[in-house]
Amino acid sequence: MSISLRSSSLRGIKSLYLKNGTRCLSTASATHDSNKKNIVLVDGVRSPFLLSGTSYAKLMPHELARHSLLSLLRKTKLDKTLVDYIVYGSVIQEVKTSNIAREAALAAGFSDKTPAHTVTMACISSNVAITTGMGFITTGAFDTIVAGGVEFMSDVPIRFSRKMRSLMMKASKAKSLGQQLSLLSQFRPNFLAPELPAVAEFSSGETMGHSADRLAASFQVTRQEQDDYALRSHTLAKEAQEKGYFTDLVPFKVSGVDELINKDNGIRVSTKEQLAKLKGAFTDGASACLITTEDKAKQLGLKPKAYLRDFTFVSQDPVDQLLLGPAYGIPKLLKRSGLSLKDIDSWEVHEAFAGQIVANIKALESDWWCKTYLGLSEKYGAPDMNKFNNWGGSLSIGHPFAATGVRLCMHTANRLVREDGKLGVVAACAAGGQGVAMLLERHPDATAN
């Protein structure tokens, strides 16, 4: 699935960046069909990303999402009545708030007349929320969209076994004592064994971690390369954190927690030996962003961060290529846009695992893989690592499944300002062998605040 926001897609964008040998920012009149809409990312926010079971542990997911929604309104100074629609992502859903977009919106004080729905596509759920909003704007259905996502792994739904559930359902319908006793006689102690949310692929039964290990092995990614990359992620995240670059992060005062939560708590700079001993951890967090048309932003007195220029989704074999979404998505996106690797100033690629990142890079550098799976005549080439995840990534900052997509977009937009770039690419893999790639362009009014 993909959508083009220009009459000629973005195939002419490359030439439009060259004037007398100098790259320049595009404008609506220069690069965009007057009948089309320039869609902009106005701004975005997120909660601090925390390891599950820590300071967010007593919250409910919609409360975490509420914080991001309210923080977005405060940061943009937007009247909530001007929001036409809310799209929110969630993966492991709280059963009491299955449409968490609606429940969080109501908790944040949005009008009950503002529609809201929840989307899910594993680790790219908030990317889906954003692109769904782009579709609404493109078709003229709505002008001003809030998109985001929340993940809360501190309290996941745990079910009784299916046999126990079946017995309980029958018991609820039993009318006589005899019927109830008959059902009771069918009970067995092993019926009480709980069912936790699956961490394995339904189609293959394999955990994502095991799949990542197999992927790394298939591309001959060494443990040294994985440890080096993990250390890079944590080191760059720590530097960005200390420099105050995470301006999308909004502190959260949680009831019952003494200290103000004002930073991600998973960033650890240590030796490679110490990092190698760390166990995988789940993360809690939420995010939200505002997207609209450039004309509407001007009308409302808003200064956008970036143009949302294009996107594509990809899907491949969920067994042997589960985590290769970026390797498939990046070439497809850039081809659609008439761009090459050297045209991109900022790369923000989701770090599911260190081995997964290195494997994707090696895939793009492999003649055989690119010929076999992308149909190219030679290797595509890898992104410039000097422009790649320069503020760290999911390995260090954390990865609340449905919230990460907004963080990737916001880091892209803010890095383009701080690094004086023009074009940025967001890419991510997701469960089910799926992935996303998005193209952002720095807006002339953008700041990194």
Q: What is the pLDDT along the chain (449 residues), one digit of tens a residue?
A: 434 444 334 444 444 443 333 344 444 433 344 457 899 999 999 999 999 999 999 999 999 999 999 999 999 999 999 999 999 999 999 999 999 999 999 999 999 999 999 999 999 999 999 999 999 999 999 999 999 999 999 999 899 999 999 999 999 999 999 999 999 999 999 999 998 887 789 999 999 999 999 999 999 999 999 999 999 999 999 999 999 999 999 999 999 999 999 999 999 998 877 877 777 789 999 999 999 999 999 999 999 999 999 999 999 999 999 999 999 999 999 999 999 999 999 999 999 999 999 999 999 999 999 999 999 999 999 999 999 999 999 999 999 999 999 999 999 999 999 999 999 999 999 999 999 999 999 999 999 99
Per-residue model confidence as pLDDT tens digits over 9-65? 444 444 444 333 334 444 443 334 445 789 999 999 999 999 999 999 999 999 999
Per-residue model confidence as pLDDT tens digits over 282-293? 999 999 999 999
Q: Hey, which residues does 89 pair with through a beta bridge? A: 119, 149
Q: Alpha helices, DSSP H only, in 158-222?
A: 162-173, 177-185, 208-218
Task: Extract the tokens encoding 351.
Answer: 């770090």
DSSP state letters, 287-303: EEEEEEEHHHHHHTT--
Burial of residue 91 (number of CB atoms within 10 Å: 0-12, 13-18, 19+):
buried
Residues assigned a catalytic role: 123, 399, 429
Query: Does CATH place domain 39-156+208-441 in 3.40.630.30?
Result: no
This prediction's pTM: 0.91
Distance, in Å, from the CA atom of 127 to the CA atom of 105, rounded to the nearest integer, reads 19
* Angle in degrees, 0-180, between the axes of helices 354-364 and 223-242, rounded to the nearest 10: 110
Q: What are the extents of the domains in the chain? A: 39-156+208-441
